[in-house]
Amino acid sequence: MLLSAPFGEILWSMKVMALNHMLVLFLLLVNLSFYGNVAAQKKELGGSFIFGDSLVDAGNNNYMSTLSKANIPPNGIDFKASGGNPTGRYTNGRTIGDLVGEELGQPNYAAPFLAPNTTGKAILNGVNYASGGGGILNATGRIFVNRIGMDVQIDYFSITRKQIDKLLGESKAKEYIMKKSIFSITVGSNDFLNNYLLPVLSVGARISQTPDAFIDDMINHFRAQLTRLYRLDARKFVIGNVGPIGCIPYQKTINQLNENECVDLPNKLALQYNARLKDLMAELNDNLPGATFVVANVYDLVMELIKNYDKYGFTTSSKACCGNGGQFAGIVPCGPTSSICTDRYKHVFWDPYHPSEAANLILVKQLLDGDKRYISPINLRQLWDLSS
């Protein structure tokens, strides 16, 4: 009897300990199951394939003999990934394409197609085909001698497409392209600025082509280009329309405008093209099964920044931070001899043509999570989450 009480207490303690261990094990299994399900449900990242012009060029023009280059200081001065050295991006920091990739969880920036190290598994993160001076039409940007237009950019993607087949096998490659990858295209501005609106090279074209005919030509070419990408298994598209190109520092400077004025003709052409582009996107959404074409309303987004710059913390939306010539530093492109503003995050425009990183950050926020005023029919985060 003297031993029974301690022995009973020992047995009771052992039972309690066993129950506690079972409870801990149960909770551990529940947690593992939960996190396992979350991991299984987490969307596997695909590629970010970027096409277009200098607004999103990540350095392709570095590898060509061309007059359009940005691999000179102070371009890239705020680009942390390069330690502030120029990379060929036409801004002080990250482009819209860089920022979208970051927000969607891409581990690395989409590398320039022409860069020697854009090979092997590196292409599965995405590839950038954009080229400063490039446009929809092959004649666009010829003043720069060399540039990569949309037709050639798609030629380059077809090479990448075959490489992905070899890396993943045809079946997995098709799923990776169709269901997990986004195709971003920012093009059209140069077709006006460095083609139709050029007084020297395009006088004949402007005499022989009305604005309607020229824009018809652009839309017809773009339709064929996007359809070609679709046939290469692209399914998720985001297409930027043309911004208010009559309001850039270059146009304001050469036309000797006041700070709050914009050049009328370029903006009218942009709006006319944008209306046609919207119709084209609706047409392709109807006629290309499984594809989703999203329109980024760059025109209204940038115009909002230009008109209400102080609301967003900027001190000017007229003067280029880096440039020379005229009231708005809008004639000479950004380079080592350019004047440069002391506070780069207070300027909407980095140089005579391109937004600053600070402006790009605001634009990207609206593209990712904004409403149908700025991106439609769905935003970029919703597009990324689509399973085609």
Q: What is the mean pLDDT of residues 368-382?
A: 96
The 3-class secondary structure across 304-347, one letter per residue, is HHHHCHHHHCCCECCCCCEEECCCCCCCECCCCCCEECCCHHHE
pLDDT of 386 reads 87
Question: What is the predicted pLDDT for the residue at 199?
Answer: 78
State yes or no: pLDDT of 1 exceeds 90: no
Q: What is the mean pLDDT of residues 226-245?
A: 98
Least-confidence region, from 17-26, 119-128, 168-177, 270-279: 17-26
pLDDT at 135 over 90: yes
Q: Residue 236 pairs with which residues in a beta bridge?
A: 292
Separation between Cα atoms, residue 355 and residue 344, nearest integer Å:
11
* Confidence bin at 123 (pLDDT 50/70/90): very high
Give the Cα separation of 128 and 117 in Å (integer).
13
- Is pTM beyond 0.85 here? yes
Highest mean pLDDT among 29-38, 123-132, 199-208: 123-132
| pLDDT band, very low/low/confident/very high, at 240 (cuts 50, 70, 90) | very high
Is residue 351 part of the annotated active site? The answer reads yes
Catalytic residue list contains 82: no
CA distance 184 to 364: 13
Radius of gyration for the alpha carbons in the chain, expressed in angstroms and rounded:
26
> Which 3 state secondary structure label does DSSP give 236?
strand
Task: Give the model's pLDDT for residue 31.
Answer: 47
pLDDT digits (tens, 9 = 90+) for 39-84: 333 456 789 999 999 999 999 999 999 999 999 999 999 999 999 9
How high is the pLDDT of residue 35? 41
Query: 251-299 pLDDT, tens per residue?
Result: 999 999 999 999 999 999 999 999 999 999 999 999 999 999 999 999 9
Give residues with Cβ within 8 angstroms of 244, minimum separation 6.
262, 267, 270, 299, 302, 303, 306
Residues sharing a CB contact under 8 Å with residue 331, sequence separation 6 or more, in sequence order: 250, 253, 254, 323, 324, 325, 352
Mean pLDDT of the chain: 89
- How far apart, in whole angstroms, are the C-alpha atoms of residue 296 and residue 375? 5
Where do the H-state alpha helices sit in 136-210?
150-168, 170-180, 189-191, 203-208
Side-by-side strand order, sheet with 292-296: 111-112, 127-128, 48-52, 182-186, 236-240, 292-296, 375-376
Report pLDDT for 208.
Answer: 73
Mean pLDDT along residues 8-22: 46
Collect all residues with Cβ–Cβ distance below 8 Å to 288 and sequence separation of at least 6: 227, 230
Q: How far apart are CA 210 and CA 200, in angstroms?
A: 17
Domains of the chain, first to last: 46-385 (3.40.50)
Before 74, cis peptide (omega within 30)? yes
Q: Which of 102-106, 151-155, 366-370 has the lowest mean pLDDT?
A: 102-106
Of the listed 57, 233, 351, 356, which one is catalytic?
351
Catalytic residue status for 171: no
* Structure confidence at residue 227 (pLDDT): 98
Distance from the Cα of residue 375 to its chain's centroid: 13
Question: Which region among 3-7, 66-70, 231-235, 354-358 has the lowest average model confidence (pLDDT)?
Answer: 3-7
* Active-site pick, 54, 202, 318, 356: 54
Q: Which residue has the higher pLDDT, 72 or 327?
A: 72
**Marked catalytic residue, from 131, 181, 354, 356:** 354
Phi, psi angle pair for 296, to nearest 5°:
-90, 120
How many Cα atoms are found within 13 Å in the side-chain-facing hemisphere of 16?
Answer: 6
